[in-house]
Amino acid sequence: MQDAVIIDVRPPYQFDQGKVPGSLNIPIEQITKNAAYIKRLGKPVIFCGNGSESATARRILQQYGLREVYNGGSWQRVLRLKNSI
């Protein structure tokens, strides 16, 4: 997907334990205050540990006017998808 930005909403300590190369770490608690920044970056693909927090982050960003927000699910799933491209 062109203009995609991969965003991990897990806490920094979890991000440091395993991450998708090239992803940004914006913890779920900081999604609201970073909505305008995320909107400028491109089309967000949001992921977390198991997919539940990424679903919440997706809803929050949609409430802030982002229309193309994708829930990537778990970080392991996104890593597999990225490695298969």
Whether the predicted model's global pTM rises above the 0.85 cut: yes
User: 25: buried, middle or exposed (CB in 10 Å: 19+, 13-18, 0-12)?
Assistant: middle
pLDDT tens figures, 59-68? 999 999 999 9
For residue range 10-26, what is the model confidence (pLDDT) as tens digits? 999 999 999 999 999 99
Across the range 35-50, mean pLDDT stands at 94
The listed CATH number (3.10.20.30, 3.40.250.10, 3.40.630.40, 1.10.3210.50) that belongs to domain 4-84: 3.40.250.10
Q: What is the pLDDT of residue 1?
A: 60
- pLDDT of 85 strictly over 90: no
Find out whether 53 and 71 touch, Cβ atoms under 8 Å: no
Give the DSSP per-residue string, 1-16. -TTEEEEE-S-HHHHH
Beta bridge partners of 25: 8
| Predicted pLDDT of residue 83 | 84
